[in-house]
Structure 1
Amino acid sequence: MILSVQGVRKVFGSQVVLSSLDLDVDEHQVVALIGASGSGKSTLLRCVNLLEEIDDGMIWLDGSHITDPRVNPDKVRQRIGIVFQSYNLFPHMTVLENVILAPVRVHGRSSKEATDAAREWLTRVGLGDKADAYPDRLSGGQQQRVAIVRALINSPRLLLLDEVTSALDPELVGEVLSMIRDLKGEGMTMVLATHEMGFARQVADRVCFLDGGKVLEQGPPEQVFGDPREPRTRQFLSRIIEAGRL
C-alpha cells in the first residue's frame, strides 16, 4: 500500500470539511474521487500533499507517518506530485525553466540532471519541441500537460490530480485525459478528483464518492456507477445523468 489516510479531520472555522475520512491506495492503482462541490475532494488532496495541516488523524506514505509534525514537508513532496486545475506556470519562464525550477531550487538536483529529465518527459508527452517556448504560446491543454510534467519530474510515488481538466475548453480536454490514461498504462499510482464521470469510469480502478467530508461509498467503477448502494450516491449520479455528464 502506498497511501493510507486514517481518520483525517479538517476544519475551516466552523465548517467541517473532512470528517474522520479513511482512504487506502495500493501501488499502481488509480482512485477517482467524485462528489458534489464542497464534498472535500480538493481539501483531501491538499492534505495528502501537506499543503493543508490536518486537525486530527494520520496520513501514511509507503509506511511512513508523513503528518508527524517533525516531518520535513519538502522531503515528502519530492515523493508526491500534485497538479491543480489552474496551470500555475510562470509566464516569464520557458517551459523548460518552469519544469526544472523546483527540482533545482527546492530539491537540490543539479541543473543538468533536472534538464535531462525534463526534456525526456516533455518528449514523452509530445512537447519536446516546446521546451524553449513561453506558456502564452501554448494552448491550455499543452500548458496543463507541462504542469503534469512538472509534477512528474521527481519520479513521484504518488500523483494527485485536482480537477485538471475543469479549466480547459472542451476540445482540449481529450489530450490531457489521454496523457493520464498513458500514465495509468505505465503503472503510475494516482488519486484524481474529477467531474469527468465518463473518464473516471474508464480509467479508475476504484471510485470513491465523497459526501459530508467522508467516503460514503467506494468500489469498482461498474458497481458505483452502475449499481450504487447508498441513496445519496444514487441521487448524485441521477443529477449527473440528467445533466448529460455520464
Structure 2
Amino acid sequence: MSELERLARLDGTEADPASVPVLRVRDVRKEFRGTVVLDGLDLDVPEHGVVVLIGASGSGKSTLLRCANLLEPISDGSIHLDGEHITDPRVDPDRVRRRIGMVFQSFNLFPHMSVLDNVTLAPRRVHRRDRAEAAERARELLDRVGLLEKADEYPDRLSGGQQQRVAIVRALVNSPRLLLLDEVTSALDPELVGEVLDLVRGLRDEGMTMLLATHEMGFARKVADTVCFLDGGRVLEQGPPEQVLGDPEQPRTRRFLQRIIDAGRL
C-alpha cells in the first residue's frame, strides 16, 4: 500500500491524489530542552495555496517552517509532502529538501561568491547540473526579478531588498514543490519591503504553493488564501484573511491584532 493510500484509509476516504495537500502537518510536537514550542499542531497547505502564519514572537512560526524543511527534528507527530511521510527517520532529508525551497529572514547569501554563483551553487553541487545549464536558468530568474545586471556583483554591493530577491531566486532555481518563507521582510528597511512583497505576490499569482510567516498584516491580507494564527505552538484560529484579520472569533486573536493596530502595522 502506498503512503497516499494508507493516509486515505486512515481518513476513511478514497485515495484521490488531487485532494492530498502538498504539505500536511499532523499533531506535530517540538520541544527544546523541555520547553514545548509546537504543541500538537495541525496544518494543511493545498496545491497552489498560500498559507500565512501570524502570531507573536515565540508562537512557533519559524520552528514550524524549519521542521517542515527538516532543519529541525520533530519530537512527535508527522509531516507529509505530497503524501510522503518525510519525518520518518528512514527518509533522506537531503532528497526531501530538493523539493522544498526556503527563504530566511537574514538572506544567508555567501559573501565571497557572486550573485550568479550563489544562485547556481545548489543546482551544480546538489542536482549535478551542468554549469552552463545552471547559469542559464539562474539568469532567466534574475532577469525576471530585475537583477540580471547584478549577476556578477557580490552581495555586499546590493541593497537589502536586492539581496532578499536574490535569496528568493536561489530558492526558486530548482523549481521547488513548496516554498517556505520566514519573515522575509523583517531585516529590510521599510522602503525596501515593497519590492520583496511584490515578488511574492507575483509568485502567488503564478500558482506557487507557499507557507510563510510574516508580521506584515497588510501583506497577509493581500497574498493569503488562509491565515493561521499561532499561539502557544498551536493553530488557535484559521480561515480566509478577511475573517481572521477582519473579524476574528478568538479573544486571543483579537488581542494580538489590537496590538498590531495600536503599533500602526495593520
* TM-score between the two structures when normalised by the length of structure 1: 0.99
Question: 42, 45, 53: which one pairs with 1:33?
Answer: 53
- Residue equivalent to 2:215: 195
Question: Equivalents in 2 of 1:109, 1:48: separation in Å?
Answer: 26
Give the number of aligned pairs.
246
Match of 1:158 in 2: 178
Is residue 109 of structure 2 the alignment partner of residue 89 of structure 1? Answer: yes
The residue number in structure 2 matching 1:126 is: 146
What are the within-5 Å matches in structure 2 for residues 101-180 of structure 1?
Answer: 101-180=121-200
Q: For the residues of structure 1 that align with 2:104 and 2:191, how far apart are their CA atoms?
A: 19
User: Hey, what's the Cα distance between the residues in 2 that align with 1:205 and 1:89?
Assistant: 30
Q: What is the one-letter code of the residue matched to 2:125? A: R
The unaligned stretches of length 5 or more in structure 1 are none
| Separation of aligned partners in 2, 1:78 and 1:9 | 24
Amino acid at match of 1:6: R
User: Root-mean-square deviation (CA), in Å?
Assistant: 0.7
Q: Is residue 2:78 matched to residue 1:53?
A: no
Determine the C-alpha separation between the residues in 2 that align with 1:114 and 1:77.
Answer: 18
CA distance in 2, matches of 1:237, 1:212: 16
Greater Rg over alpha carbons, structure: 2
* Counterpart Cα distance in 1 of 2:128 and 2:162: 27
Rounded to whole Å, the distance in 2 between the matches of 1:54 and 1:84 is 20
Matched, 1:208 2:228: yes
CA deviations over 1:95-135 (Å, ceiling 9, x no partner): 00001111211232222221111111101111111111111
Runs (4+) of structure 1 exceeding 4 A deviation are none
**Please, which of 21, 28, 39 is the counterpart of residue 41 of structure 2?**
21
Aligned equivalents of 1:107, 1:64: Cα separation in 2? 21
Partner of 1:239: 259
Q: 209, 228, 244: which one pairs with 1:224?
A: 244
Q: Percent identity over the alignment? A: 76
What is the aligned partner in structure 1 of residue 26 from structure 2? 6
Question: What 5-or-longer segments of structure 2 have no aligned partner?
Answer: 1-20
